[in-house]
């Protein structure tokens, strides 16, 4: 098998990084939308309180993958992402 060029390794690292950041919010929005639908259908007081509690847990669980991806202990320069950030390819 042929070796990948540094450009392709950096590109794969960038796409993997951004996919990891997007995964948590997408799954979290699905969970929250299902909970909101159930809250609307089953409108007893006890179920509403339980739904709000589970929604809080789902929201925290949604933030976890994003924070893990951003605060991981390996520097972005070692994965090739730091060069593209400095070059202005992904400026905010």
Domain ranges of the chain: 6-70
Tokens matching residue 13? 């690292």
Model pLDDT, residue 91: 46
Q: At what angle do helices 6-41 and 45-70 cross, to 10 degrees?
A: 170
3-state secondary structure 1-12: CCCCCHHHHHHH
d(CA 21, CA 15): 10
Element (DSSP H or E) covering residue 52: helix 45-70
Model pLDDT, residue 3: 82
pLDDT tens digits, the chain, 92 residues: what are they?
478 787 888 888 888 888 888 888 899 999 999 999 999 998 889 999 999 999 999 999 988 888 887 777 655 555 555 555 555 444 44
Model pLDDT, residue 92: 44
């Amino acid at each position: 098998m042929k070796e990948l060029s540094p450009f392709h390794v950096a590109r794969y690292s960038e796409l993997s990084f951004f996919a990891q950041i997007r995964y948590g919010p997408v799954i979290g929005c699905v969970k929250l939308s299902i909970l909101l639908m159930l809250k609307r259908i089953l409108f007893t007081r006890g179920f509403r309180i339980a739904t709000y509690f589970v929604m809080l847990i789902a929201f925290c669980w949604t933030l976890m993958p994003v924070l893990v991806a951003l605060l991981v202990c390996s520097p972005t320069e070692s994965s090739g992402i730091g060069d593209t950030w400095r070059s202005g390819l992904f400026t905010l």
